[in-house]
Amino acid sequence: MEDVNEKVANLDVTNKKEKKTPKVKAPKTTGGGSSGGGGGGGKKKEVKKETGLGLSNKKDENFGDWYSEVVVSGEMIEYYDISGCYILRPWSMAIWEIMQTFFDAEIKKMKIKNCYFPVFVSSTVLQKEKDHIEGFAPEVAWVTKSGDTDLEVPIAIRPTSETVMYPYFSKWIRGHRDLPLRLNQWCNVVRWEFSNPTPFIRSREFLWQEGHTAFATKDEADQEVLEVLELYRRIYEEFLAIPVVKGKKSENEKFAGGLYTTSVEAFVPNTGRGVQGATSHCLGQNFAKMFEINFENEKGEKGMVWQNSWAYSTRTIGVMVMVHGDDKGLVLPPKVASVQVIVIPVPYKDADTQAICDACSETAEELNKAGFRAETDLRDNYSPGWKYSNWELKGVPLRIEIGPKDMAKNQVRVVRRDNGSKEDISRTNLVDHIKDLLENVQQSLFDAAKQKRDACVTVAKTWEEFTKALNEKRMILAPWCDEEEVERDVKARTKGEMGACKTLCTPFDQPELPEGTLCFASGKPAKKWTYWGRSY
């Protein structure tokens, strides 16, 4: 359901040596914190040295290589021996599970039920809805053999599940009492054809949820489209701390075979590209017609159902890395971090190391009992400085350091990952303080991301203003006549090494459109404001 038709040339984040783990230089440790537990002075056992943990690429200088490096070094993914396929390591899988827990509970409140359909699709069913499958055809993977024997009829692996599920909707729906039928499945899909695989953003196999629903009326379908879209906004803004625009896709960019498509659109300032974050489609009655999904209403009259489909995927994780990550590595919003607080002992020479480690364990246990996700790093074969760099690279929101002076003062030192600020906190009110800090980090990440995104939005009313903003890697809000041919012309005129520009979405929150405003591209009367830009 995410836009799979566009083949983006020269994708900014392509890893050109995909099967190799990026080489990592060994910069000096960021050191950090109290190093001895909240005090200055004193002979320290720890010395600053080469950690081997730093990134060799900078986000502002070489975004593509930086991204490829940070997702591997931050233990999000590992490259697989099949191009375009990636291993999701526990550090990223935990983020997916946190979002899944939220979303699954919310759709169950809406009386949507989970199910599972097979990954295989017969060729006859796949070809039944021609307009729909046309956009997926180059990306469909086929099973052609069983052992050494050729299959008489090849079997497709699902690129999406409309054609998988709807023959059975036709079987299960007979009358109005069978409606609404509202199903969701958590699964994987395979889309094989593309030239620039990118972890999370564009891979040959990815995880997602896909909802498929059927209603007696269009009003019910329309209502659900927006309810689900709001859940997607919440995933991005409340969990991933990424600002998005809710809006409607153009006719050229809508889901093939559907009536209309709504989406949440994110933006990556470093590359000047939009990201279709998630989509909620009203399919209308096209699929109902093709698959004969009919029902009898209360009056005994025959009718066709109205259908929706909607999905978000592990692409969300890649957008989070792109927006929040920095030159030290990942920066995880507290709501999705599997470890929100890491507790590290900082012993001086001749200090009571065991007592310090015990204090760290007690602190982590206290935080876990209060509902936080806290861990200790008691490994004795790494220095505190190495551990600081390690957990900074992995993006843990808060680091607590405990040394002998901290113990003497019954305090801990807390270091924020987002801005590096440090403060000493009494252990007597630690839980309340950590709660406030995590909430502040979450909000600060969103505010910073929104400020950067908003600074990249340009209003363009003429073609000259439009092309200037596009060359400056902006997301452009422009008055448009809403004609498909004009959009295709803009795409053709802007095609180049960086990829063509297209509509991202028409925002629901429309600025005032003064009478007489003309379309930036055609000079015809404008009908709406629409966001334009290059995209992933």
DSSP string, 208-237: EEEEEEEESSHHHHHHHHHHHHHHHHHIII
Residue 26's pLDDT band (boundaries 50, 70, 90)? Answer: very low
Percent of the chain with pLDDT over 90: 82
Instruction: Sort strands 475-480 and 528-535 into parallel, antiparallel or unpaired.
Output: antiparallel
User: Among 309, 80, 329, which residue's Cα sits nearest to residue 205?
Assistant: 80
3-state helix vs strand vs coil in the chain, percent to 5: 35, 25, 40
Residue 9 has pLDDT above 80, yes or no: no
Instruction: Tell which wins on pLDDT, 390 or 22.
Output: 390
Distance separating alpha carbons of residues 211 and 114, to the nearest angstrom: 9
Distance separating alpha carbons of residues 334 and 342, to the nearest angstrom: 12
Give residue-wise pLDDT tens across range 339-361.
999 999 999 888 899 999 999 99
What average pLDDT does the segment 403-419 reach?
Answer: 97
**Residue 220 CA from chain centroid, whole number:** 28
Distance separating alpha carbons of residues 458 and 438, to the nearest angstrom: 33
Instruction: Tell which wins on pLDDT, 130 or 528.
Output: 528
**Residue 473 CA from chain centroid, whole number:** 21
Instruction: Tell which wins on pLDDT, 127 or 295.
Output: 295
Which of 10-24, 192-206, 378-392 is the most confident on average? 378-392
Distance separating alpha carbons of residues 88 and 79, to the nearest angstrom: 9
* Amino acid 134: pLDDT: 67
Main-chain dihedrals φ then ψ at residue 502, nearest 5 degrees: -145, 175
Q: At what angle do helices 353-369 and 430-455 cross, to 10 degrees?
A: 70
User: Among 509, 445, 499, 452, which residue's Cα sits nearest to residue 477?
Assistant: 509
Percent of the chain with pLDDT over 70: 89
Residue 498's pLDDT band (boundaries 50, 70, 90)? Answer: confident
Distance separating alpha carbons of residues 135 and 132, to the nearest angstrom: 6
Residue 7 has pLDDT above 90, yes or no: no
* Amino acid 309: pLDDT: 98
* Amino acid 127: pLDDT: 76
Residue 22 has pLDDT above 50, yes or no: no
Give residue-wise pLDDT tens across range 195-222.
789 999 999 999 999 999 999 999 999 9
Instruction: Tell which wins on pLDDT, 52 or 495.
Output: 495
Give residue-wise pLDDT tens across range 78-110.
999 999 999 999 999 999 999 999 999 999 999
Residue 312 · residue 1 · CB < 8 Å: no
Instruction: Sort strands 398-402 and 341-345 into parallel, antiparallel or unpaired.
Output: parallel
User: Which residue bears the tokens 């890893």?
Assistant: 15
